[in-house]
Amino acid sequence: MPAMTVSGHRYELDRHGVQAVLEGVLPEPIHEHFVVINGRRWPPKQVLALVTGLDRADFTTHQARRALTRLGFPAARAASSREHRMRAVQAAGPSGSAAGEPDGEPQTLVEALRPFIGLWVAVRGDEVLVAAPSPKDVVAWLAQHGQRAQSMFRVPDSDQAITGAAPQ
């Protein structure tokens, strides 16, 4: 288990422990930097504060990002809205896929929504703002963080629900 020192305290963190701590927690809005854990974008400081119990003022975003990338979580910087839209349009091309992964590889909308199967999502542009088990949770998160979504829907949990095919 990798050991690291954050704000003068020594911690032994591993990927599975970080993932376990985040179960049932909703990510806060992304301002500039994010890490991808379990297919969701998380603010690095939120994650490190949750797993260490430290106050966010005790470390920087870059320290949190570095600690989490050492554990193997991909990290990236969120593009400005205009840059993000332009990259998405350029990446989409005729296939209809959109940019969204930290490595910049294009992905289809289905691939982008795969981590949220069975959950309710709030979407603005091509960005999933929040995913939660109920529409009430989504609306509460949007209100708590002063965010506005363009749409909200439940991601289907089966191919039959997606296609509308009758069960066989």
96 falls within a domain: no
Residue 101 near residue 91, CB atoms below 8 Å: no
Last residue of a domain, one of 45, 77, 109: 77
90 falls within a domain: no
Tens digits of residue pLDDT in 27-50 = 999 989 999 998 889 999 999 999
Find the domain containing 116 and state its range. 101-163
Tokens of 100: 């969204």
- Residue 51's pLDDT is 94
Residue 2 near residue 71, CB atoms below 8 Å: yes
Overall pTM surpassing 0.85 (yes/no) = no
68 falls within a domain: yes
Tokens of 146: 């002063």
